Amino acid sequence: MVEEGFFVFGRCCNHIYAVIGVGLQDSPILAAENLSMSTTKAENLQKEYLRIKKLSEFDLDLYELREQFKSLMELAGHIAGTEVSVVNLIDNYSQWTLSAVEEDPKRIAKENSICAYTIRSNSFMEVQRLDLDERFRDKPYVVGEEAYRYYLGMPLTLSSGENVGSLCMLDTKQQQIGEDKKLALAVIAREIVHKLEHRRKLNETLYTLSETVRIKNQVAHDVRGPVHGIAGLAESVEDEDLSADEMREYFTLIKNSGKGIIDLTDEILNSGRDQEMQASRKINMADLQERLLQLYDLPAKSKNLDFKVFVNREKDQLKFSRRRVLSIFGNLISNSIKFTPAGGRIEVHMDFVNTETGKQLEVLVQDNGKGMSSKALENYFEDVSELSSGTGGEKGFGLGLKLVNELVHELGGSMKIASEVNKGTKISILIPVL
């Protein structure tokens, strides 16, 4: 039986299951207190916040990403000759593992991740004998005849300098991987980062194009009103019996010019509609509901939590931009999982509402967890937040709500929080639908 909170990798029936994780007492988050005295706690928190915010900017769909990385992970495993070769991405709460042999991404708590140690360095991390390393020798994946002995992690370093994850190699046998192979693995790690950054640039281009089309359409709509007025006035005046032929000719010209502009704006409005490129970056509530259940149902069940996602089925055919939504939802749900005790419930509700500023996606995430005092809630939006403990012993800095608040406002939306100690938290969000 694998201990609760650890991630299990299924392999062929004649092989063992690989357990990836480290104990809470060895948490790399707790180790932040032992960093250089020249770096203050506030600076460390700010650095970590910038790292997770940078990761959120990628708008990652882990299922799509796994397909892009599959061949690279297979190549890395072939070069290293290890039994396990995976890509781990580490956000504020979790390590998400992508595998060439597993279709679904796997999640473990961030503090249980070996690779959370790796991303604190700009070089690879290698442990020849996990069973002789005091950090790992008593861990479940080290104990026993068929336990893991070897680990090698290559950090995934963005061009801006942040480490967002690692290329991870594990084996039940001790390995001697030469420098030439490590250099080759480092090249693969850089190629993974290149694919990540290329994907982000493509997303940004598509979103910029979508926004340009929206602005173009808005301008066209704004022009149509006054031009219709001019054309209508000219047509009205033209029907009157005016004594001055020059006036008639003048208003005829206004009418013809107005109609010409209306035709032009109609052409502008019709262009760019239903573009496949724009549609590919949109999602409906039903698809988002399915994706959230795929990613977070198992973590919730591991803590015996009742996790539900509700959508208004009458409106689930409407599509909206995918930009930032997975990061926003993921942080809120992970936060609820962390702070809700066993037997609790977490609900997500989605709907479209019409407001004075237009149609908006309305989101409510609520739980019956630990809740927060008004003072603690204020601290969540400060630059520095204290180390906080979840109901299952999880550790993490209070950066999730700060990040969500910033992402929502970047989208032009709004966020409200209501919370009470030992009664739970309700977070409501409105996001404009483009």
- Rounded Cα–Cα distance for residues 424 and 7 (Å): 28
- Do β-strands 84-90 and 163-171 pair in parallel, antiparallel, or remain unpaired? antiparallel
Give the burial class of 114: count Cβ atoms within 10 A of its Cβ; 0-12 exposed, 13-18 middle, 19 or more buried. buried
Tokens at 26, concatenated: 């060895």
367-386 pLDDT, tens digit each: 999 888 887 777 665 544 44
Per the CB < 8 A criterion, the answer to whether 256 and 235 are in contact is: no
- Angstrom distance (rounded) from CA 273 to CA 217: 10
Query: For residue 398, what pLDDT band results from cuts at 50, 70 and 90?
Result: low
Q: Does 388 have pLDDT greater than 80?
A: no
Altogether, the residues listed in the chain come to a count of 434
Q: What is the mean pLDDT of residues 1-14?
A: 33
What 15-20 contacts at long range (C-beta under 8 Å, 24+ apart), as own/partner pairs, is: 15/83, 16/146, 16/147, 16/172, 18/83, 18/84, 18/141, 18/148, 18/170, 19/139, 19/140, 19/141, 19/148, 20/95, 20/97, 20/108, 20/112, 20/113, 20/114, 20/141, 20/168, 20/170
Estimate the share of the chain in helix, then strand, then coil, as percent rounded to the nearest 5. Answer: 45, 25, 30
Which carries the bigger pLDDT value, residue 417 or residue 252?
A: 417
Distance of alpha carbon 302 from alpha carbon 334, whole angstroms: 13
pLDDT for 374: 81
User: What does the pLDDT look like over 293-336, one tens digit per residue?
Assistant: 888 888 888 888 999 999 998 887 788 888 788 888 888 988 89
Which residues lie closer than 8 Å to 245 by C-beta, 6 or more apart? none
CB contact set of 90 (below 8 Å; sequence gap of 6+)? 55, 96, 110, 113, 115, 116, 119, 164, 165, 166
Q: What rounded mean pLDDT belongs to the chain? A: 75
| Residue of higher predicted confidence among 388 and 63 | 63
pLDDT in tens, 83-101: 999 999 998 888 899 998 8
Mean pLDDT on 12-21: 32
Rg of the chain in Å (alpha carbons): 27
Residue with the bigger pLDDT between 415 and 434: it is: 415
What is the pLDDT at residue 7?
A: 35
Which pLDDT band, with edges at 50, 70 and 90, does 46 fall under? confident
Contact 291, 65 (CB under 8 A): no
pLDDT above 60: residue 72:
yes
What is the percent of the chain with per-residue pLDDT over 70, rounded to a whole number?
A: 68
3-state secondary structure of 75: helix
For residue 27, the model assigns a pLDDT of: 45
Buried b or exposed e, range 211-241, using 16+ CB within 10 angstroms: eebeeebeebeeebeebeebbeebeebeeee
More confident residue, 397 or 351: 351
pLDDT above 90 covers a percentage of the chain that reads: 25
pLDDT tens digits, 352-366? 998 888 889 999 999
CB 350 within 8 A of CB 288: yes
Minimum mean pLDDT among 159-168, 183-192, 249-258, 414-423: which range? 249-258
Tens of pLDDT, residue by residue over 177-209, are 999 999 999 999 999 998 888 877 766 665 565
Per-residue pLDDT at 158: 92
Tokens 């480490």, located at residue? 163
At residue 56, the pLDDT reads 83
Q: Report which DSSP code applies to 2.
A: P
Backbone angles phi, psi at 23, to 5 degrees: -70, 155
pLDDT tens readout for residues 239-264: 666 556 656 665 565 555 555 555 55
Two tokens, residue 50? 């910038």
Give the tens place of pLDDT for each residue, 93-133: 888 999 988 888 888 888 778 888 899 888 899 999 888 88
